[in-house]
């Protein structure tokens, strides 16, 4: 499929103005197809000119332009030429379209729990053309009127409010102007709950087999939704602009959620069918707030082209965390942002594929997909948080309100936003934007303190450095936190000093005279409260003291910053990997923030033990983590989040010695009081037993029969790929590289389970097969699926120079799809980092 280029989009936007889309869909036909009829009314600034419309049909039935029938053979790939345009035009396209199993276009899912069929449209980026004929670019917005014929008894939802006019026949209110990639519908025998808040109709929906789980959390979801709506109204002084607000939890979703105006879609794992920790509820609240922020940033005001993706995602990322913390019961949302999201951003910003938050060159829609990463989300959000600290929150919000007033229902660019913020703050922000938004890379902040014989600071300096490959120093408004033990033994902040770091003045060394003569602290923490975006380093004495200090640090964001600092040093090969595992084994035992607990466990068990430590050191390191989890289980309150987090941790890193405990829990024996061994935990326990060779195919068959759900099918696929059996590995690999009948999520599950650090000899032959077969796999699947599957299937535990060399040989080819090249580039950079870190471990 030709990728729409920026130049083509600009030319078409200058030529056309789209007045409206009228779309009629018939979903009552064969299982594989649906009928689509589209009427597009549009103007042309140069009558007589030519253009094209996009469409990806199974069969194009007919096309008329201004009453003139066009030859359907004129469709070339996804483009249909339109010639001899008038000043005002009407295009009518009738086509048979194919359902997808990839999460792109109109996705069709059959629920294995009850056999019911569900559909949802994901038109993101350039998939609207899989559903209806359109000018598929973000700056040709138009109102949409949708009608749908569906099986009787189904519920159909879309962007506008819907009315069932006859059994199975639905008509939806005409929407305000929408970009094509926001147009959606969801259909099937949905379970629905309704409410209203401040005059806004609210709905939450899921498939019928999840009804009891949605009902259990409905009050919380409505409460979060209502609180966030109120807070956005306060912040933006502009009401939610799209009428009703439906939130639909859909199966086999590629992303976390999608901000379709009036009909937000979420992956249905957010309908919790098993026990979850508070951290997971925080995450769901943040995602709800994130998608709601898009109603203004992205939906009301849409980027003109994908180079300004950050105007959507960076703002939603920042505001989602901020508003969840300010307007819901989940006031601790920022610690998760610090340890999870910014860790993602820092990693992305140090890879060869790094790019500016607001890049100037995104040449086509294929390239745009590559930028949905930790930079556009987490780094951009951190930059916005720093911008708010830089100009002041009042001016920041005033600028946003003006931005909405100037560009409502239209499109905007970085220049437009900076103009509004500059006018509100009285500052010229072009220099700030040049360094923060137009330059890639992450800097490092190190507090350097000289202490006199009296135990007081003689001098304190904040040193900012940047890597030679990205030698850009940035201005920062940040805080230094001085932490000491109090009378109760807690490590608390004694005082905080604000610091202005301006490399144009201080050349990377900023003195802090306010601290001269103050008593030295046990811990001097740069970027206290996490107001800026930069890696932080600790002194060697502070690192050595962390196993004693960290468990007693009272503030969760400060703890998250400390964990992040140690992790960054480990990933950058400045600290031995064993040290991170030792700190995790000591510090997590008392960690109460479960977002921190879960992320550090993942970094310690999956990355440090699985990739950074040589095989000879893994068993002891995993045993230390397992022992820590066992100690937490022994002391955690029955039924508490800490108990659940520890049980999951044990399931993640258990060795042969702990296998009996896991087996017992599955059989209902010696289960800690209050621990629910429910569906999700059962699969986690079983997966670890499979990897250890202590459960087999018969166990998986039995568990699949016990859990006949869509989620259960994914878990089973993941476990079958993890079986330490040559035949099982061969079947899983063939599924990954050749089976086009598998849905996106089943395919991903096989890839996620395939590689295990304990199975290096078993999977050794597949390392070369990955590099040989990925191009063919990528050629037969959509870009979003390729991005996820190629990453999950990468031989990340085969940490060796031959693996890196094989990867480089593939990267040297010039014919790779952009999305596959990006995955290979990033994963191979991570592999080379692992090789460097292993050198510190004596490997």
Task: Give the SS3 label for residue 248.
Answer: strand
Instruction: Measure Cα distances from 218 to 47, 189, 282 in Å.
Output: 54, 18, 15
Single residue among 155, 171, 188 that ends a domain in this structure: 188
The model's confidence at residue 843, banded by pLDDT at 50, 70 and 90, is low
Instruction: Identify whether 176 is part of a domain.
Output: yes
**Is residue 156 pLDDT above 70, yes or no?**
yes
Token digits of residue 711:
């989620």
Residue 450 burial class via C-beta count within 10 angstroms: exposed 0-12, middle 13-18, buried 19 and up: exposed
Residues with catalytic roles? 291
Is the separation of the CB atoms in 371 and 355 below 8 Å? yes
How far is 56 from 96, CA to CA, in rounded Å? 9
Using the structure block, give the residue that is written with the tokens 């087996």: 663
Token digits of residue 651:
């399931």
Parallel, antiparallel or unpaired: strands 190-197 and 200-207: antiparallel
How far is 75 from 54, CA to CA, in rounded Å? 9
Using the structure block, give the residue that is written with the tokens 């304190």: 460
Which residues, 6 or more positions from 126, have their beta carbon under 8 angstroms from its beta carbon? Answer: 3, 4, 54, 136, 181, 365
Count of Cβ atoms closer than 10 Å to residue 214 Cβ: 22
Instruction: Identify whether 740 is part of a domain.
Output: yes
Instruction: Measure Cα distances from 696 to 714, 726, 838 in Å.
Output: 17, 13, 33
Q: What pLDDT was estimated at residue 840? A: 86
How far is 338 from 350, CA to CA, in rounded Å? 17
Q: Answer left, alpha or beta for residue 489, where phi above 0 means left and psi between -120 and 50 means alpha.
A: left
Using the structure block, give the residue that is written with the tokens 């009902």: 215
DSSP string, 383-404: HHHHHHHHH-HHHHHHHHHHHH
Which residues, 6 or more positions from 271, have their beta carbon under 8 angstroms from its beta carbon? Answer: 206, 210, 213, 214, 217, 249
What counts of helices (H) and strands (E) characterise the chain?
Answer: 28, 29
State pLDDT tens for residues 758-807: 999 999 999 999 999 999 999 999 999 999 999 999 999 999 999 999 99
Q: Supply the CATH number for residue 41's domain.
A: 2.60.40.1730
Per-chain mean pLDDT for the chain: 97
Instruction: Identify whether 253 is part of a domain.
Output: no
The model's confidence at residue 692, banded by pLDDT at 50, 70 and 90, is very high
Is the separation of the CB atoms in 450 and 485 below 8 Å? no
State pLDDT tens for residues 600-659: 999 999 999 999 999 999 999 999 999 999 999 999 999 999 999 999 999 999 999 999
Instruction: Identify whether 458 is part of a domain.
Output: no
Instruction: Identify whether 100 is part of a domain.
Output: yes
Report the Cα 807 to chain-centroid distance in Å.
Answer: 26
Count the alpha carbons within 13 Å of 185 in the hemisphere toward its beta carbon.
29
Q: What pLDDT was estimated at residue 477? A: 96
> b/e per residue, 28-55, with b = 16+ CB within 10 A?
eeeeebbbbbbbbebebeeeeeebbbbb
Among residues 22, 79, 72, 89, the alpha carbon closest in space to that of 54 is found at 79
Single residue among 158, 188, 218 that ends a domain in this structure: 188
Instruction: Identify whether 402 is part of a domain.
Output: no
- Please say whether the dihedral angle defined by the alpha carbons of residues 394, 396, 400 and 403, taken in this order, is positive or negative: positive
Instruction: Identify whether 222 is part of a domain.
Output: no
Report the Cα 502 to chain-centroid distance in Å.
Answer: 32
Single residue among 188, 217, 234 that ends a domain in this structure: 188
Enclosing domain of residue 725: 713-843
The runs of H, that is alpha helices, within 392-539 are 393-407, 414-425, 430-436, 503-506
State pLDDT tens for residues 277-330: 999 999 999 999 999 999 999 999 999 999 999 999 999 999 999 999 999 999
Is the separation of the CB atoms in 319 and 382 below 8 Å? no
In the chain, the number of structural domains is: 2
**842 or 22, which is more confident?**
22
Instruction: Identify whether 456 is part of a domain.
Output: no
Which residues, 6 or more positions from 635, have their beta carbon under 8 angstroms from its beta carbon? Answer: none
> b/e per residue, 765-790, with b = 16+ CB within 10 A?
ebbeebbebbeebbeebbbbbbbbbb
State pLDDT tens for residues 170-182: 999 999 999 999 9
Is the separation of the CB atoms in 596 and 560 below 8 Å? yes
> b/e per residue, 419-442, with b = 16+ CB within 10 A?
bbbbebbebebeebbeebbebbbb
State pLDDT tens for residues 355-408: 999 999 899 999 999 999 999 999 999 999 999 999 999 999 999 999 999 999
């Amino acid at each position: 499929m030709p990728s729409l280029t920026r130049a083509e989009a600009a030319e078409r936007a200058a030529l056309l103005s789209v007045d409206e889309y009228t779309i009629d869909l018939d979903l009552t036909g064969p299982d594989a197809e649906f009928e689509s009829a589209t009427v597009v009314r549009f103007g042309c600034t140069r009558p007589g000119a030519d253009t094209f419309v996009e469409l990806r049909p199974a069969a194009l039935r007919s096309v008329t332009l201004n009453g003139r029938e066009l030859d359907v053979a004129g469709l070339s790939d996804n483009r249909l030429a339109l010639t001899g345009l008038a000043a005002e035009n009407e295009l009518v396209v009738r086509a048979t379209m194919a359902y997808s199993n990839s999460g792109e276009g109109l996705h069709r899912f059959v629920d294995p729990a009850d056999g019911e069929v569900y559909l949802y449209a994901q038109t993101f980026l350039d998939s609207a053309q899989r559903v209806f004929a359109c000018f598929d670019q973000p700056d040709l917005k138009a109102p949409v009127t949708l009608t749908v014929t569906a099986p009787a008894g189904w519920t159909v939802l879309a962007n506008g409010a819907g009315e069932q006019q006859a059994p199975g026949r639905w008509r939806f209110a005409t929407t305000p102007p929408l970009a094509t990639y926001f147009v959606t519908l969801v259909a099937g025998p949905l379970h629905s709950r309704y409410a209203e808040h401040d005059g806004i109709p609210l709905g939450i929906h899921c498939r019928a087999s999840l009804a009891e789980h949605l009902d259990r959390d409905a009050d919380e979801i409505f409460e979060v939704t209502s609180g966030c709506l109120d807070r956005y109204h306060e912040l933006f002084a502009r009401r939610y602009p799209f009428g009703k607000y439906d939130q639909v939890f859909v199966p086999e979703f590629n992303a976390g959620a999608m901000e379709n105006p009036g009909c937000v879609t979420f992956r249905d794992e957010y309908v919790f069918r098993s026990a979850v920790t508070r951290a997971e509820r925080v995450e769901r609240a943040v995602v709800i707030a994130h998608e709601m922020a898009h109603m203004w940033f992205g939906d009301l005001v849409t980027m003109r082209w994908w180079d300004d993706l950050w105007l959507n995602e960076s703002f939603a990322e920042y505001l989602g965390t901020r508003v969840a913390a300010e307007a819901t019961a989940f006031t601790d949302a920022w610690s998760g942002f610090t340890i999870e999201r910014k860790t993602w951003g820092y990693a992305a910003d140090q890879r060869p594929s790094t790019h500016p938050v607001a890049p100037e060159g995104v040449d086509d829609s294929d390239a745009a997909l590559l930028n949905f990463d930790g930079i556009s989300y987490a780094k951009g959000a951190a930059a916005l948080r720093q911008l708010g600290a830089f100009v002041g929150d009042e001016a920041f919000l005033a600028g946003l309100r003006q931005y909405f007033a100037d560009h409502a229902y239209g499109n905007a660019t970085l220049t437009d936003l900076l103009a509004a913020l500059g006018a509100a703050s009285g500052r010229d922000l072009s220099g700030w934007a040049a360094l923060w938004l137009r330059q890639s890379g992450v800097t490092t902040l190190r507090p350097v303190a000289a202490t006199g014989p009296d135990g007081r600071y003689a001098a304190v300096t904040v040193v900012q450095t940047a890597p030679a490959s990205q030698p850009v120093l940035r201005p920062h408004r940040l805080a230094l936190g001085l932490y000491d033990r109090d009378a109760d033994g807690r490590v608390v902040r004694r005082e905080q000093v604000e610091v202005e770091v301006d490399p144009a003045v201080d050349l990377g060394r900023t003195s802090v005279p306010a601290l001269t003569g103050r008593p030295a602290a046990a811990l001097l923490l740069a970027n206290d409260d996490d107001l800026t975006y930069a890696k932080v380093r600790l002194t060697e004495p502070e690192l050595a003291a962390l196993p004693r200090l960290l468990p007693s640090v009272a503030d969760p964001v400060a703890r998250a910053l400390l964990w992040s600092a140690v992790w960054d040093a480990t990933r950058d090969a400045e600290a031995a990997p064993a040290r991170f595992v030792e700190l995790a084994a000591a510090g997590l035992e008392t960690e109460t923030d479960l977002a921190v607990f879960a992320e550090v466990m993942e970094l310690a068990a999956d990355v440090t033990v699985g990739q950074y430590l040589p095989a000879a050191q893994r068993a002891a390191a995993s045993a230390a983590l397992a022992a820590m989890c066992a100690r937490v289980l022994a002391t955690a309150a029955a039924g508490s989040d800490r108990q659940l987090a520890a049980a999951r941790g044990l399931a993640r890193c258990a060795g042969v010695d702990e296998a009996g405990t896991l087996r017992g829990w599955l059989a209902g024996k010696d289960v800690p009081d209050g621990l629910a061994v429910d569906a999700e935990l059962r699969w986690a326990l079983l997966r670890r037993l499979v990897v250890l060779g202590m459960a087999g195919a018969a166990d998986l068959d039995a568990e699949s029969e016990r859990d006949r759900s869509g989620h259960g099918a994914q878990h089973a696929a993941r476990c079958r790929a993890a079986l330490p059996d040559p035949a099982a590995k061969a079947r899983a690999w063939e599924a990954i590289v050749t089976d086009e009948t598998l849905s996106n999520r089943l395919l991903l599950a096989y890839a996620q389970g395939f590689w295990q650090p304990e199975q290096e000899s078993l999977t050794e032959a597949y390392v070369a097969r990955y590099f040989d077969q990925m191009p063919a796999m990528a050629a037969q699947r959509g870009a979003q699926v390729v991005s996820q599957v190629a990453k999950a299937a990468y031989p990340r535990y085969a940490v060796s120079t031959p693996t890196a060399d094989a990867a480089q040989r593939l990267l040297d080819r010039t014919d790779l799809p952009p999305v596959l090249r990006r995955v290979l580039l990033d994963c191979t950079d991570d592999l080379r980092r692992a090789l460097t870190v292993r050198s510190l471990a004596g490997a």
